[in-house]
Structure formats: C-alpha cells, structure tokens
Amino acid sequence: MPEEVKVLAARRVYEFRPDDLRLAVLSTPAIRAKIQSEFAFQQAVMGAVVPLFGAIDISGQGVTFASGSVSEEDGQVTPIRFIQVEPTRIVIDVAAPSTAIDTIYRRLVQAVGNARVPDGSAAIGKPTQHSDYSELSARLAFPISAILAEGLPGVLQDLVGSKLEIAMTLYIQTLVHGETYPGFPTQESAILRLAPRQGFPLSERVYFSSAPVETNRHVKYLTELESTLRRTSSKGVARAVINSRKRPT
C-alpha cells in the first residue's frame, strides 16, 4: 500500500454544449465580483486561457479566477488554485481531493444565482460530461528501474557507469487503434506520468504521479502498480542473487 500519499492537485473540467455556458454574462464585472467574493479569489483576469483539456474554441478567450479557497463548517480550508471559465467549459483546480470539486461547483452555480442572458436562458446550463486529472506524491515500495524490461537496467548502468544513479520518467499516452501518433502531448491531462519526486534521493522511493482520473481512483491505481512492480522487482533481485552464485570465483 502506498505510504505518505499527498494530494498535490485535483482538476476537473465540466463540458457544455454550445450556448449552454454564456461566457459573455459570466465575464461581466458584476458576475465576476460575485464569484471572486464567494471564493475570496485574489485575481480575476480576462483574456487568453490555458488549454488544459484540449484545444479551446478559435477565440482562446476566457476568464480565470486564481488563488481562492472555501471553508467548511469544521474549519477545514480547501485551497482553490483556479477556476477557469471558457466558452464551453469550466475547469476547477484545487489542492485537495477531487471530492472537494463537487462542493465548489455547486457554490459556483449558487454564486452566479439567477444570472441570465437577455433572451432568458441561464448563464450556466447543465454540463454534458466531466473529466478529471490529479497529481499525487507517494512513497512506493519499488525502485524506479522496476518499470523497465528485465535486463535493461543493467544495460543502462553499463552505459552511464556504476558511479551514477539512473532516474527515469514513465509517460503513457493512449491512442485509438490505427490512429497516427501525434507526438508528445502538450496537455498534462492527456498522459499518465510517473517520476521520482524532485527534492528526494532515489533511494527513498518517493514518486510524483499524474493521471487523468480523480484522486481516489488515482490512489487505487498506484496501489495496483506498486503491487505489480514490487513483485517484478523482487523476482529481479532473486534472479540476480542466483546468477551471482553461479558465477565462477
């Protein structure tokens, strides 16, 4: 089981059909002020937004609320890194488990209240779907070399020399069968990533992990990954011991 699991970020995008999310209304000074007040955002900026979940419409414009928080009845404070409103999407990013996003989205809709377009339609309609992304750090019971095929760590070690350690990062993308590979993705949410955690020696086996899932599913994935690679690593050590015993002295 992963130890010292820490949630670094959880992000969710709510997607809307064209004209079911009215950016023109949500970016007006009055509505921006309501949202900024509800979550104590330090910034509310209009302009180009970052395409975190794929390309934005041709305008590339939106409004970004940054550095806010919400407080629960028990005094727990949930930091909100940002809320980004695009022409057909709302992205919420928190430094907390994904479950916190549900509450924040409800409060966002409530803060907007009955704001409507002059034709009578709601400024925020019903989303058609949502997608998640999360970043965790955790201590896992396998060396980073366990992600490689048998024998490959030795080949790499021979290349760089015995005085150096090898730090590797695993990136995984998914493609539709037969699809042409488009190159390395520009959006973090499009990949699985596993890497040694910056600031720790490799011997401590602390990792950074990102995945396009909510935080509970992310922890489950890391648990399954650890179980699999721990067995692989143990077998590799056992084979190395056996082989060393067979070597002539």
Count Cβ neighbours within 10 Å for each residue of 52-67 and write b for 16 or more, e otherwise: bbeebeeeeebbbbbe
Taking residues 74-79, what's their average pLDDT?
88
156-161, long-range: CB within 8 Å, 24+ apart, which pairs? Answer: none
What's the confidence (pLDDT) of residue 235? 57
What's the confidence (pLDDT) of residue 76? 86
First and final CA of the chain: distance in angstroms?
Answer: 40
The model's pTM is 0.85
pLDDT tens per residue, range 1-57: 899 999 999 999 999 998 899 998 899 999 999 999 999 999 999 988 888 887 777
Per-domain residue ranges of the chain: 17-127, 133-246
Beta bridge pairs of residue 16: none
pLDDT tens per residue, range 91-104: 999 999 999 999 99
What's the confidence (pLDDT) of residue 9? 96
> How much of the chain, in percent, has pLDDT values that exceed 90?
53
CB burial of residue 104 (10 Å; 0-12, 13-18, 19+) = buried
